[in-house]
Structure 1
């Protein structure tokens, strides 16, 4: 509406003061008021995010790529590659152990070439010679009869120099019927010595 079309007469309210503003105006904005929102987004938000990440990493609650919090291992047996529960498998039966075969050392055959002395301590004439003949008939090749001297045993005894002659002495014992065998190198002579205090054939 123009001033010419205004139907009412002018009054004191229509007078315009020279100090009054003639339109709507805004005060010019400062540069800080225009840039502070960007400063908040670029500085404050990253700083807060860094602080949150640092705190969570120290407490162990920071999620990892696998989805579980840091410091918490996945329970055993829940993964796809987890080993099967040992309780679900039956133990393998014990392998049958082979039977233990007891082995005995091979028996050394009697040595018929070992020197054998037949000593007569019974006071029976010709006893040593007849006894020696029995050993020769059994296969012994070095048999010599003689009279016994020194201390006589309580019973007829076969003396050997070592256990290596045990099988040879056993053959002498079964041939003559003298069961007593002793290891006595000082009385066995060169191999085997038979001291007779009685007649084995009596």
Structure 2
């Protein structure tokens, strides 16, 4: 419909401002109005980011890249800083596939030999002492015990003499049985086996 065919009189709403755009066209925009959003993004945002980083670095709240996460302990370095020189080194024997040498088996402890001849000599001048001690040895399992009186000068204390170290286990059993604490290697006094020379009564 054209303005000539409009049947109503004009009023204040029909008046058009001379500054208002007409039709679908608008006044051309200025260059600043087109570029200012890009200026804000390129200038203002980096400035704000730099300010935030500087503030957090002063307060100590800035996260450190590569730091252990919360709840995980950081690895602890050795206190003395010593380096294990043997770390990473292989035993040459194991590296070449050689078998590890086995420990040599220990020899079993010698057992007392109850058939060893045992002489009991009474040098204490106590009647029946040699016979009584001989009975104690026979009760312990010894089968070749002979009581007798001592001759010559007796030692200061009672002694169990043995002919050699191979009789050590047997002589120690004899000494324990009769209550004598001294055991000596003396073939001249021990004879063919073991001799118990008493200068006091062990049971007194």
TM-score (norm. length: structure 2)? 0.51
Matched, 1:122 2:124: yes
Residue 119 of structure 2 aligns to a residue in which SS? strand
Q: Which has the larger radius of gyration?
A: 1
Matches within 5 A, 1:77-156: 93-94=90-91, 95=94, 101=103, 103-156=105-158
Cα distance in 2 for partners of 1:92, 1:190 equals 59
Q: Please list every run of at least 4 consecutive aligned residues from structure 1 whose deviation after the TM superposition is greater than 3 angstroms.
A: 95-104
Instruction: Give RMSD over aligned pairs.
Output: 2.2
Deviations 1:35-85 (A, max 9, x none): xxxxxxxxxxxxxxxxxxxxxxxxxxxxxxxxxxxxxxxxxxxxxxxxxxx
Determine the structure 1 residue equivalent to 2:16. Answer: none
Cα distance in 2 for partners of 1:173, 1:122 equals 17
1:153 Cα deviation from its structure 2 partner:
1.0
Determine the structure 1 residue equivalent to 2:164. Answer: 162
Query: 5+ residue gaps in structure 1?
Result: 1-90
1:107 Cα deviation from its structure 2 partner:
1.4
Residue 187 of structure 1 aligns to a residue in which SS? helix
Query: 5+ residue gaps in structure 2?
Result: 1-87
How many matched pairs? Answer: 112
Cα distance in 1 for partners of 2:104, 2:159 equals 33
Structure 1 residues 99 and 178, CA gap change in structure 2 (3 angstroms): farther
TM-score (norm. length: structure 1)? 0.51
